[in-house]
């Protein structure tokens, strides 16, 4: 049997293990990862027992003997746009016909034509994506693992040096004392592509910057001489209990930062009683996330981008409802992707690399020496570089190609029907007019959001829109639950939003940064920091319950002058008011 690298437990105070003579592989839950170290074992299936209870814990995925496996040399022959095979997680797929339709462009696939693409594929695709995208006849079967040569593109020397330096200088997690610390560390640890996607914002980044700055324009009006010994931060969002007045906003591609991706957030939220919004573009499948909840009553919300093929969205929503999600976050500010220039520059860097590869033997036959370009081929030999594939898209553009630009208020009817009337929250409301329409159409909640400054630059911040609602239609705050996101980095930011009538706030990027270097522990530490800051703020302004917060505790004069005076509220006479069928 080939020797493989596996994890073994050596802390016998907690767990006892014994190896079994079975073949396969396993993944150890992160909760016991601190007790692990790497070691080589020929027998990768383990039985664990808790010494206190003697209850066996099996962690194994036995691998049955495979017959008729492909040789990787055969796969390597199909290495161009006329015949393109790739290996994903030990299985070969014929993706030739899929090349023109790949959201990220054909180039990214052709970089791995005839080879193992798992390293590139895994961080940005939920398990099962390729199986669902290709017809069965394109599933070519397992490849003999003894013949596979994994293709791992090494980081640049500068990138590797920077990461090694960051690792040496990384402060202990306990010394991360605010959310900005996580962002700084993530900027050093993440790959260029991952950092560009996580941190990018639209055009001149004005709105992205203003998101954080707007909170600094609100002052507290603290009350003193009050008993503030015991503070409660618990509340309810859309009928679900939450220990803290914020939830984790849906943020895509968490596996770009950590192998466990969104599961780090699921664990962190489950252990602290928070609600998690799951991105439609999550790198872990939504049902896998649902099956990974820490407690049965843990609340998950699902973000929906309406598909150009509405039937696919209908089918998806039914599956989401069946998986136990409690609400739908309908994203309404993405009719087209914003111009995110950092993401674009990262794409250009990859394209330049592709251009080099396409002219230096990248698409070569398996027997041709590596590095022999088209100019070096024997006269008359076929060249695979005659036609370059279309340029690939940036990460943001690639994952949004399926999204419909035609979403309208009328779509709410079929969305409700597809989810058995789960609560719907509109994510991306930016004016008082649309907030009023949301009430009239029976929406349960809205998130005042500019997509983290990633869509339309010079769009209003969530705070600006909240003040606009307070000025022109304050009754909206009584009719539906209003949340905001964008630029929230402090517990004081959360308290300010609640004082102005928000039910709660959402944070996305800070948790991507936290998990990138620390996994679940980073998520838990970020939650701990925000909790501490909120407790301090509550006591220092003289309140102990969220219900005691109000506009009398803040001074908004520095922002009030930026709130528009003239608005035209919708004429409701022609709107068919929605009524629940429950």
In 3D space, the residue among 245, 429, 253 whose CA is nearest the CA of residue 329 turns out to be 429
Task: Give the pairing of strands 300-304 and 276-278.
Answer: parallel
Q: b/e string for 366-389 if b means 16 or more Cβ within 10 A?
A: eeeeeeebbeebeeeeeebbeebb
11 is catalytic: no
Contact 313, 338 (CB under 8 A): no
Contact 125, 283 (CB under 8 A): yes
Residues contacting 73, CB < 8 A, separation 6+: 147, 366
In 3D space, the residue among 429, 444, 416, 425 whose CA is nearest the CA of residue 313 turns out to be 416
DSSP percent split of the chain into helix, strand, coil, nearest 5: 40, 15, 45
Distance CA 541, CA 536 (A): 9
Name the DSSP letter for residue 168. Answer: H
Residues contacting 97, CB < 8 A, separation 6+: 138
User: Is residue 367 classed as helix, strand or coil in its secondary structure?
Assistant: coil
H/E element, 526: helix 520-541
451 is catalytic: yes
Contact 543, 282 (CB under 8 A): no
- Active-site residue, selected from the candidate residues 125, 258, 451, 472: 451
Distance CA 103, CA 452 (A): 23
In 3D space, the residue among 359, 389, 357 whose CA is nearest the CA of residue 377 turns out to be 359
User: Is residue 145 classed as helix, strand or coil in its secondary structure?
Assistant: helix
Integer CA distances (angstroms), 169 to 34, 164, 173, 511, in order? 20, 9, 12, 21
Please give the full DSSP string across 272-332, using - where no structure is assigned. HT--EEEPTT-SS-HHHHHTT-SSTT--EEEEE--BSSHHHHHHHHHHHHHTT--EEEEE-
In 3D space, the residue among 113, 149, 77, 22 whose CA is nearest the CA of residue 389 turns out to be 113
Strands in 16-20's sheet, in edge-to-edge order, are 16-20, 45-49, 56-59
Angle between helices 179-189 and 192-199 (to 10 degrees): 150
Residues contacting 202, CB < 8 A, separation 6+: 208, 338, 339, 340, 453, 454, 455, 456, 457
- Active-site residue, selected from the candidate residues 181, 333, 343, 354: 333
For residue 284 the two structure tokens come to 């872990």
Distance CA 60, CA 53 (A): 20
- Active-site residue, selected from the candidate residues 112, 121, 198, 305: 305
Q: What are the residues facing 37 on neighbouring strands? A: 8
Task: Give the pairing of strands 36-41 and 4-9.
Answer: antiparallel
333 is catalytic: yes
**Residues noted as catalytic:** 305, 333, 451
């Amino acid at each position: 049997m080939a020797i493989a690298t596996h994890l073994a437990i050596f802390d016998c105070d907690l767990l006892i293990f014994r190896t079994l003579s079975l073949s396969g592989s396993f993944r150890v839950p992160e909760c016991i990862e601190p007790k692990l170290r790497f070691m080589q074992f020929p027998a990768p299936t383990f039985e664990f027992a808790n010494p206190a209870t003697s209850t066996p814990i099996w962690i194994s995925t036995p691998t049955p003997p495979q017959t008729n496996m492909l040789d990787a040399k055969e796969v390597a022959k199909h290495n161009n746009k006329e015949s393109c095979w790739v290996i994903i997680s030990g299985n070969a797929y014929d993706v030739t016909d899929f090349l023109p339709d790949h959201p990220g462009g054909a180039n990214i696939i052709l970089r791995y034509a005839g080879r193992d693409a798992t390293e590139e594929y895994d961080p940005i695709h939920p398990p099962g994506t390729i199986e669902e995208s290709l017809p069965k006849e394109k599933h070519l079967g397992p490849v003999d693992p003894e013949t596979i040569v994994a293709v791992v593109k090494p980081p640049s020397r500068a990138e590797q040096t920077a990461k090694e330096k960051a690792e040496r200088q990384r402060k202990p997690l306990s010394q991360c004392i605010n959310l900005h610390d996580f962002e700084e560390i993530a900027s050093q640890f993440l790959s260029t592509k991952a950092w560009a996607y996580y941190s990018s914002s639209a055009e001149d980044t004005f709105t992205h910057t203003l998101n954080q700055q707007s909170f600094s324009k609100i002052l507290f009006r603290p009350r003193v001489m009050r008993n503030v010994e015991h503070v409660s931060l618990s509340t309810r969002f859309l009928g679900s209990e939450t220990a803290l007045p914020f939830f984790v906003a849906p943020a895509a591609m968490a596996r770009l930062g950590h192998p466990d991706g969104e599961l780090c957030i699921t664990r962190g939220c489950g252990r602290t009683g928070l609600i998690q919004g799951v991105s439609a573009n999550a790198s872990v499948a939504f049902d896998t996330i649902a099956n990974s909840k820490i407690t049965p009553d843990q609340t998950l919300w699902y973000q929906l981008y309406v598909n150009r093929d509405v039937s696919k969205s209908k089918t998806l929503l039914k599956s989401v409802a069946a998986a136990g999600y409690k609400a739908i976050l309908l994203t309404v500010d993405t009719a087209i992707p914003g111009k995110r220039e950092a993401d674009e520059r990262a794409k250009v860097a990859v394209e330049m690399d592709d251009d080099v590869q396409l002219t230096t033997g990248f698409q070569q036959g398996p027997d041709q020496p590596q590095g022999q370009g088209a100019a070096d081929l024997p006269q008359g030999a076929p060249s695979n570089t005659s036609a370059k594939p279309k340029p690939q898209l940036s990460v943001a553009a690639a994952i949004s190609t399926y999204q419909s630009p035609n979403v309208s208020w009328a779509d709410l009817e079929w969305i409700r029907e597809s989810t058995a009337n789960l609560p719907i929250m509109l994510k991306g409301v930016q004016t008082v007019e649309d907030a009023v329409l949301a009430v009239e159409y029976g929406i349960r909640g809205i998130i005042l959001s500019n997509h983290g400054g990633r869509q339309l630059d010079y769009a209003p911040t969530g705070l600006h829109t909240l003040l606009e609602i307070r000025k022109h239609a304050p009754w909206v705050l009584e009719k539906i639950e209003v949340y905001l996101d964008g630029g929230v980095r402090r517990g004081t930011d959360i308290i300010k939003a609640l004082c102005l009538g928000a039910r709660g706030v959402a944070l996305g990027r800070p948790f991507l940064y936290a998990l990138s270097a620390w996994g679940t522990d980073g998520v838990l530490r970020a939650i701990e920091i925000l909790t501490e800051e909120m407790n301090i703020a509550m006591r220092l302004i003289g309140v102990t319950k969220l219900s005691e917060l109000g506009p009398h505790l803040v001074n908004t004069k520095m922002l009030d002058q930026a709130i528009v005076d003239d608005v035209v509220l919708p004429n409701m006479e022609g709107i068919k008011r929605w009524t629940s069928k429950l």
